[in-house]
């Protein structure tokens, strides 16, 4: 993995986009990539992409699941073992509702509200599957800023919607 300079939000978003490209194209989901970074140490703690793990997993969920396994704790206890200055980079705004019945990614992020200091997104979630995603609003209400990393919108949308039926 190429070293990314501290504060290089575009570099981390590019890495998240590379993760998204690993996700299999399907008409029923977005291909999303995520990167969880220890901002203080400038260390990548986990990467993930949609459907990387079994069970209709989202990119953020994959990051957290992989980290929980690495630390030998349940995902809901991750906040007890992670550093206090994390940044989450995700190509698409974290979901606020899961049609599959899985825990929404926003709720997973909120469990780490003491550690995740900011969420950087490439695009807001399109209304294709869940209209009016409230992810950004919910995170910001909890004190976690959601920051748009500009310049990747077209490419992220192309990757995210690969496999969808184009009208």
Token pair for 75: 């995902």
Q: How far apart are CA 155 and CA 159, in angstroms?
A: 6
Q: Which of 60, 75, 93, 125 is catalytic?
A: 60
Q: How far apart are CA 107 and CA 95, in angstroms?
A: 9
- Establish whether 60 is a catalytic residue: yes
Token pair for 111: 């469990």
Question: Which strands make up the sheet holding 146-148, listed edge to edge?
Answer: 43-49, 33-38, 86-92, 116-123, 146-148
* Helix segments in 72-144, DSSP class H: 105-110, 135-141
User: Phi and psi (nearest 5°) for 148?
Assistant: -80, 125
Q: What is the CA radius of gyration of the chain?
A: 15
Q: Which residue has the tokens 């709720």?
A: 107
Token pair for 101: 């019945």
* Residues annotated catalytic, as ranges: 60
């Amino acid at each position: 993995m190429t070293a990314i300079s501290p504060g290089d939000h575009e570099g981390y978003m590019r890495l998240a986009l590379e993760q998204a490209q690993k996700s299999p194209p399907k008409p029923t989901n977005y291909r999303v990539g995520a990167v969880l970074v220890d901002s203080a140490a400038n260390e990548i703690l986990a990467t993930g992409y949609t459907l990387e793990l079994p069970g209709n997993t989202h990119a953020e969920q994959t990051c957290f699941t992989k980290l929980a396994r690495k630390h030998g704790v349940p995902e809901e206890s991750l906040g007890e073992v992670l550093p206090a200055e994390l940044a989450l980079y995700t190509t698409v705004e974290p979901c606020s509702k899961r049609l599959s019945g899985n825990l929404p990614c926003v709720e997973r992020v909120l469990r780490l509200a003491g550690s995740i200091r900011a969420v950087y997104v490439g695009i807001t979630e399109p209304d294709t599957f869940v209209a009016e995603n409230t992810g950004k609003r919910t995170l910001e209400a909890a004190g976690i800023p959601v920051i748009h990393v500009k310049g990747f919108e077209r490419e992220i949308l192309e990757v995210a919607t690969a496999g969808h039926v184009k009208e």
